Amino acid sequence: MMFWYDHDVSGWGWFAMTASMILFWALIITAAVLVFRALNRPHEHTSAPVAPTPEQILAQRLARGEIDEDEYGRRLSALRKGPDPGTA
């Protein structure tokens, strides 16, 4: 019967248990916050920006008023026809 009363936890044992429990929960909460932030972060570098096509640039210039409809038509037909084989 005396065996059970002789094995209590000392002050340092209580301190170690308390510190380890606080550290355990701090690590769990920190990991949860980091996972939550990583999942909710917008993915900025998933794809490279796509450059506009020459036809889109031409349409933008027409919309801004830099060129008129006649010039737009000429340049668009030149773009769609391709380079002249005799000039290269």
Predicted pLDDT at 7: 64
Helix 69-81 and helix 54-64, axial crossing angle in degrees, nearest 10: 180
Ramachandran angles phi, psi of 43, nearest 5°: -85, 100
What tokens were used for 39?
Answer: 């999942």
Query: How many beta carbons lie within 10 A of that of residue 57, not counting itself?
Result: 13
What pTM was computed for the model?
0.41
Tokens 């949860």 — which residue? Answer: 32
Q: Where are the domains of the chain?
A: 11-39, 53-83
**Counting beta carbons within 10 angstroms of the beta carbon of residue 9, is it exposed (0 to 12), middle (13 to 18) or buried (19 or more)?**
exposed
pLDDT, position 88: 53
pLDDT by residue (tens digit) across 47-73? 667 888 999 999 999 999 999 999 999
Per-residue confidence (pLDDT) for residue 86, from 0 to 100? 62
29, 53 contact by CB (below 8 A)? no
Model confidence at 1: pLDDT above 60: no
Per-residue pLDDT tens digits for 24-45: 999 999 999 999 998 988 776 6
Tell me what pLDDT residue 18 has.
94
